[in-house]
Amino acid sequence: MKYEKLSTEILENIGGKENINSITHCITRLRFKLKDEAKANTEAIKELDGVVTVVKSAGQYQIVIGNHVPEVYKEFIQLAGISEESSNSEEKPKGFLNTFVDIVSGIFTPVIGVLMAAGMIKGVLALLTAFNVIDKESGTYLIINASGDAFFYFFPLFLGYTASKKFGGKPFLGMAIGAALVYPAIVAANSTMEPLYTVFAGTPIESPVYITFLGIPVILMNYGSSVIPIIAATFLASKIEAGLTKIIPVMVRSFFVTFLTLMITIPLTFIIVGPITTWIGLLLGDVLAQLYAINPIIAGVIIGGFWQVFIMFGLHWGFVPIALNNYATLGYDVVMMAGLATPVAMAGVTLGIFLKTKNKKVKEIAFPAFLSALFGITEPALYGITLPRKKAFYATSAAVAVAGGIMGIFNTKVYINGGTGIFALPRFIHPESGIESSFIGFAIASGVAFLIGLGLALTIAYDPKQDAEEKKETKEKPEFLLNQEMGKNTLYELESPIAGEVVALSQIQDEAFSSGLLGKGVAIIPQKGEVVAPADGVITTLFPTKHAVGLITENGVEVLIHVGMDTVNLQGQYFDAKVSQGDTVKKGQLLLTFDIENIQKAGYSVITPVIITNTTDYLDVIDSKETMISASEPLLTVIS
């Protein structure tokens, strides 16, 4: 770990993990919300090698690191044992979709590793039995099957734990509810007893009744491997638990709250929640299956083509409970199927870039990313290779769309959860009939996706010039604005990205900027909410909240434009980016817009530092003597 020493020292001096409420990061700094700021040894942190300074502002304890803060952040949360999903747990998602995705990801993320491992075991077992390596009647089969199938059968217990944590209830209480749903005597009653009578006769939900509760008919369902019933039940339990906590005296609360919560929730789950959610799940699965059956080719193309986008925005989590529900109710899934070709397609594109590029750094990243994608881990390829190169990203989506269409032609179905990439193949083996059209369809689709991705990367989807090695210095004058040579020195003149009043950095109420620790430059009080490119270059950083943009000019000058102070807290509100990270831009091109009036009404200053972050690479940075400046007028002169 490159920043392990720095992360360890920060953790020690900040008061340990126990003192952290939440952590996030912006373009240059780690932003903590601490339980007690007095426990943090600020002076010691300021002296750490790799820390620029410490800023306390807007209720946050901010450790200024520099442009490589994302790497430090990742290593820090790993060292501290803080999951990326919970590191900013105090921030509540806004909107129904965001809330839904947050809930689903919070419930399933803790078990996703075991879920995939158990699925891979079942997939390997399916291969072994399909090729007659193992007999289904043997003890070997029984033990291997138990290794993979037990997790799915008792899935309600695991989800009871994670769902209770997400809903703010007692995790083991959720497990108790899950255990009740798959209790052997309840399962046996549903399969061996004679029905007492039938309810809802003549309707689609006609159901036999085997047992009653206080005379109330109980419609027993098969809750093994189920998803929706236990999530709904734990949500109900969390509300009942919270209500009982408020009304039961403290002296007997520890016993009676849990006792009464179980006594109320479990009967309600068997009588009402379980049957209704099971019927909803069956209806949902059937509707999706019918829609897929109408035109599986178009469905495969659409889902496959947009799968990368779903992953980027976290929307794929919304498909997870639907797919798991389909496995439990239908025995197969078609919702997430087309997306399973994504890793293989991405591997093809990444391999093509590896073979075509002449940039040593890109080659060093691309080959490991290719191998990772082939085995189902797409993040290194997505964020390191394809996403920064738009055509490569589009090529991957096109390849997956074609693969989805091919799977539609074969009417492909996926039968178990499990691995991705090449490890997804066993998931398409039919549990009873073995290798048939679904397996063949996915195998062909994956091969085609890989070849299309590879072919597009080698031809039209990737231009090696965009990753050309840095040119060695020559005696020729660089083509950049003023760029006039003075003896052995060269002057690079940068234009102003913003129109407004020019002030010294020292006037900023932020030590990291005002002291010049992040680099030399000036600050501008904007008159107009527009930021334009100060020179030709490439956008190296565009923070998701759009309040700051960094670019590197053709001559290697690194420029940071940070609109306002602490405006990261606006979470992108009042900002609109006109470019994306990795874009090549021209001098004067509009980069982003912002609403000055509303930002100020929200209580934030719009004073904007414009700094050269690699100041130490140059002899000096000289600012303009003008007090008022228009966009694209000379602002800074860098002496090399």
Catalytic residues: 26, 562
Longest dimension (CA), the chain: 101
- The contacts of residue 104 (CB under 8 Å, 6+ apart) are 317, 318, 320, 321
Query: Helix count (H) and strand count (E) of the chain?
Result: 21, 23
DSSP string, 244-255: HHHHS-HHHHHH
d(CA 631, CA 533): 9
Find tokens 């209806």 and name the residue: 283
SS3 string of 118-166?
A: HHHHHHHHHHHHHCCCCCCCCHHHHHHHHHHHHHHHCHHHHHHHHHHHH
- The contacts of residue 289 (CB under 8 Å, 6+ apart) are 326, 330, 334
d(CA 565, CA 546): 13
Single-letter residue type at 70: P
H-helix or E-strand containing 489? strand 489-495
Q: Please, what sign has the CA dihedral across residues 345, 446, 368, 29?
A: positive
Single-letter residue type at 481: L
**Bridge partner residues of 32 (DSSP):** 23, 61
Provide φ and ψ at 602, rounded to 5°: -75, -5
Find tokens 């047992």 and name the residue: 211
Q: Quick one: tokens of 387?
A: 């996403």
d(CA 202, CA 199): 9
d(CA 56, CA 565): 12
Nearest one of 114, 129, 160, 116 to 416, comparing CA atoms: 116
270, 263 in Cβ contact below 8 A?
no
d(CA 264, CA 269): 9
Q: Quick one: tokens of 484?
A: 């006039």
Burial status of residue 279 (CB atoms within 10 A of its CB: 0-12, 13-18, 19 or more): middle
